[in-house]
Structure 1
C-alpha cells in the first residue's frame, strides 16, 4: 500500500492547537493502521519555530510534496507574526498554491483559511474560519459558512482552533475509514461535534 504523506506547515506565530491537535490525530491514526506519515515542516530550514503562545517547536524538515497539506492559523489580530504576517509576506500562500497545483489536498484550520484565500484556493468555495477573520474571509472568498468542518473535495477548512481536531478526524475517516477515525477519537477522548459541510 502506498503511504500517504501529510505535512503541517509551521510559521512563527502559528496557533499551537491548530497544528498539534491534527498532528496527534494523524499520528494516532497511523498507530491504528492508517497508511499515513505526518511531518511538521517549515518553508525554510530552521531549528525552532515559536508559536503564538510561545511554545517552541522543532520542525522535522521543509515543505516537500505532500499528499495532504494542513495550514494552521493564529495571530490574525497581530500584524507582525502569525497568519496575517504570512499573508502579507506572500511566500507561504505561493507555496500552498504550488502544493495544490501539484495535486495535494489542502486543508486549513482557523485563520489558516486566510492563507488559502491569499493563495487563490477559496474563490467560489465554501470555507470556514475563526470568528475574528470572518469579515476578512468574506471579502476575499465570498462563501463563508458557520461550520466546524467544510469539505470541498481537494480543499477543506475548519473554524476556530479545536475544530482542527474534527477536521483531522474527518480526513482520517474520509481517507482511511470510519473505524480508524472512531478509534482515534476514543483514544483522544474527543467527542466529535457538528456535521461536515460539503
Structure 2
C-alpha cells in the first residue's frame, strides 16, 4: 500500500525546510510525496529557488502525513483561513501531523498544538506558548502523532524519524546511507548557545522584521 505524504508549498517557503524531508521521503519505496498549494503555478522560495506544486489544496485526498515547512512566507499563512481549514481537515485523520522550522506556528494557529510539546526555529520557539504549545528545544520533538522539527536543516533528521515510523528503521537507515547523511559541519555555530554572541545578534537583527510581523499576527500572550 502506498503511503501518501503532503508537503505544503507556498510563496517564500524556506526551500530546505521542504526539500530536505522531501528528498528523504521520496527516496523510500512505496511513498508518494505531494507538493500542495492553492494553484499549480510555479512558486518562488525565500531564497529564489522555483518550486512546482503537484496538487491543489481543493483536490487533495486524505494524507497519511501532512507537513508544513517554514520560512518568511509563513507569516501570510498565519491568517489564511483556507490553509488553516485544510490543515484541520487533514489532521483529523492523518497518521502524523508535522512541521519543520516555523511551520509549527501555522499548525498552532490551526489549533493543532494545544497542550502539545513542539519545536521550531530557535528564533521562534518562544512564540509557541501563544498558541497553546509547550516550547521544547530539539531537532525533532514528538508528542503523540504530532512531530515538529527545529530549524531548517533539522528537516532531514525529521524526515528520517518519520520514515522510520512509517516503513521501519531499516528502510530509513538505507535512505540515510544512500544520501550519505553523515554531517560534519566545518563550524560549531549552528545554535545560539554555540555561536559567538555577536553572530547571534547579527542573525537576530536580520530576522527582526519577520519576527515582529509574526508577533503582531499571533494571539497575545495570555
Counterpart Cα distance in 1 of 2:183 and 2:145? 22
Most deviating of 12-21 and 61-70? 61-70
> Is the partner of 2:7 in helix, strand or coil?
strand
How far 1:171 sits from its partner (Å)? 0.8
Structure 1 stretches (4+) deviating beyond 4 angstroms? none
Correspondence for 1:36? 31
Corresponding position of 2:211: none
The equivalent residue for 1:130 is: 121
TM normalised by structure 2 equals 0.77
- Aligned residue in 2 for 1:172: 163
2:146 is matched with which residue?
Answer: 155
Secondary structure at the counterpart of residue 79 of structure 2: helix
1:111-122 correspondence runs (5 A) = 111-122=102-113
Structure 2 distance, partners of 1:142, 1:158, is 14
CA distance in 2, matches of 1:191, 1:143: 30
| 1:156 alignment partner, SS class | strand
Instruction: Mark the CA change 1:93 to 1:191 in structure 2 (over 3 Å): closer, same or farther.
Output: farther
**How far apart in 2 are the matches of 1:52 and 1:91?**
21
1:55 aligned partner: 49
Helix, strand or coil for the counterpart of 1:168?
Answer: helix
Q: CA deviation at 1:174?
A: 1.1
| Higher RCO (C-alpha 8 Å, min separation 6) | 1
Matches of 1:157 and 1:170, distance apart in 2 = 11
CA distance 1:146–1:49, change in 2 (3 Å): same
Q: Which runs of 5+ in 1 are unaligned?
A: 76-81, 194-198
Which one of the candidate residues 60, 66, 83 is aligned to 1:69? 66
Tell me how far apart the structure 2 counterparts of residues 45 and 180 of structure 1 sit (CA, whole Å).
Answer: 33
Deviation at 1:68, TM superposition (A): 0.7
Distance 1:120 1:59 in 2: 25
- CA distance in structure 1 between the partners assigned to 2:144 and 2:31 by the alignment: 19
Distance 1:36 1:192, change over 3 A: farther
Aligned alpha-carbon RMSD (Å): 1.6
Note if 1:46 corresponds to 2:40. yes
TM-score normalised by L of structure 1: 0.86
Cα distance, 1:192 vs. partner?
A: 7.6
Alignment of 1:98-113 (within 5 A): 98-113=89-104
The structure that has the greater radius of gyration is 2
| Structure 2 stretches lacking a partner, 5+ long | 185-222
Alignment of 1:25 onto 2:24? yes
- Distance in 2 of aligned mates of 1:50 and 1:114: 21
Name the SS for the 2:78 alignment partner. Answer: helix
